[in-house]
């Protein structure tokens, strides 16, 4: 069943830039009522001023459970219900594993995974209590990544948060079906947002090698998310063929390891070229890539 986007109440975390911002713009243009959350309130307010309709902005850090709870409470207080929550806030950065501090690891899990869990936990409680609208009590939309299906060198903790988000979505999709609550995971790859500049700022290594190749626009990613909000489905893979490529990757892990060694070596080379701290790779792999490996590599973030 199609859900009407007119007057739909949607919470978007990480709405101050990139995919979240593009989604807010698209949904507002279709008559949606939005709760926009992120840490940079000035950016949210500027966005809300430019959007048609009346929306609410919340300064919130999703790594703090109390902020997640406040986001959901605000949606209920301002609009009386919550139709869709888009858990989009997140970040990543490249760093050798043993150079990650305990704080680095905890912070990225607190934001990407526990932020998602806390927002969803409170949202589900509210959704279970409300009457269905167009056949659904609500929808959880979790912005994971293509790397949920295949880990990445130097981004291994980031990829682990994204794999955990996918696993969460898979389990909840079945658990919440009897309550008419849809669950959708979203798997972007190489989208033209601030993700890579943020990663660069935070990194011990330049993540440029992962960002090579053409990038998808946040508007295109948002458009595919809007379709899955209107007509809920399990997974959204905005880049054509990325889902197929990653499925093949799961079936041939040794071949994909070779591709990954190539990416690892490129990252090391670029890192060295920029005169930053040298990181020694323990092994070097044969970089020859078959057609299928190139196809898989093309779709990895």
Under the binding rule (CB under 6 A), the answer on residue 145 touching ligand NAP is yes
Under the binding rule (CB under 6 A), the answer on residue 298 touching ligand NAP is no
Single out the catalytic residue among 79, 114, 155, 158: 158
Whole-angstrom Cα distance, residue 137 to residue 126? 9
Which residues are 139's β-sheet partners? 84, 182
Contact 37/28 with Cβ under 8 angstroms?
A: no
Q: Which stretch binds ligand NAP (CB under 6 A): 70-78, 89-97, 223-231, 269-277?
A: 89-97
Residue 4 CB, nearest approach to ligand NAP (Å): 26
Contact 88/38 with Cβ under 8 angstroms?
A: no
Residue 91 designated active-site: no
If the CB atoms of residues 137 and 172 are measured against ligand NAP, the closer one turns out to be 172
**E strands present in the chain:** 9-13, 33-38, 56-59, 84-87, 138-143, 181-186, 235-236
Residue 38 CB, nearest approach to ligand NAP (Å): 4
Under the binding rule (CB under 6 A), the answer on residue 55 touching ligand NAP is no
State how far the alpha carbon of 15 is from the alpha carbons of 46, 126, 277, in Å. Answer: 11, 22, 34
Which residues are 186's β-sheet partners? 143, 236
Stretch 173-232 residues interacting with ligand NAP (CB under 6 A): 188-191, 193-195, 198
Under the binding rule (CB under 6 A), the answer on residue 88 touching ligand NAP is yes
Q: What are the catalytic residues?
A: 158
Summarize as ranges the residues that interact with ligand NAP (CB under 6 A).
13-14, 16-20, 38-40, 43, 60-63, 88-92, 111, 143, 145, 188-191, 193-195, 198, 301
């Amino acid at each position: 069943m199609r859900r009407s986007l007119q007057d739909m109440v949607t919470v978007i975390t990480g709405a101050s830039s990139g995919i979240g911002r593009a989604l807010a713009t698209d949904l507002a243009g279709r008559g949606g009522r939005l709760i926009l959350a992120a840490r940079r309130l000035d950016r949210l307010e500027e966005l809300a001023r430019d959007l048609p309709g009346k929306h609410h902005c919340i300064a919130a850090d999703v790594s703090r459970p109390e902020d997640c709870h406040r986001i959901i409470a605000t949606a209920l207080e301002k609009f009386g219900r919550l139709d869709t929550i888009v858990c989009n806030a997140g970040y990543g950065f490249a760093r050798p594993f043993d150079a990650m501090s305990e704080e680095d690891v905890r912070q990225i899990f607190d934001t990407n995974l526990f932020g998602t869990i806390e927002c969803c936990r409170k949202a589900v409680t509210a959704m279970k209590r409300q009457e269905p609208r167009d056949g659904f009590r609500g929808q959880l939309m979790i912005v994971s990544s293509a790397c949920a299906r295949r880990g990445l060198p130097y981004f291994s903790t980031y990829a682990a948060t994204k794999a955990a988000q996918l696993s969460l979505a898979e389990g909840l999709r079945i658990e919440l079906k009897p309550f008419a609550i849809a669950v959708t995971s979203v798997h972007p790859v190489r989208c033209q947002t601030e993700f890579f500049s943020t990663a660069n700022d935070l990194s011990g290594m330049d993540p440029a090698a992962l960002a090579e190749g053409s990038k998808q626009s946040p508007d295109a990613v948002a458009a595919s998310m809007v379709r899955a909000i209107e007509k809920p489905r399990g997974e959204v893979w905005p880049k054509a063929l990325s889902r197929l490529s990653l499925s093949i990757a799961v079936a041939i892990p040794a071949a994909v390891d070779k591709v990954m060694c190539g990416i690892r070596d490129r990252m090391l080379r670029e890192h060295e070229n920029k005169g930053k701290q040298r990181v020694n790779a323990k092994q070097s792999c044969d970089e020859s890539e078959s057609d299928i490996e190139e196809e898989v590599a093309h779709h990895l973030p």
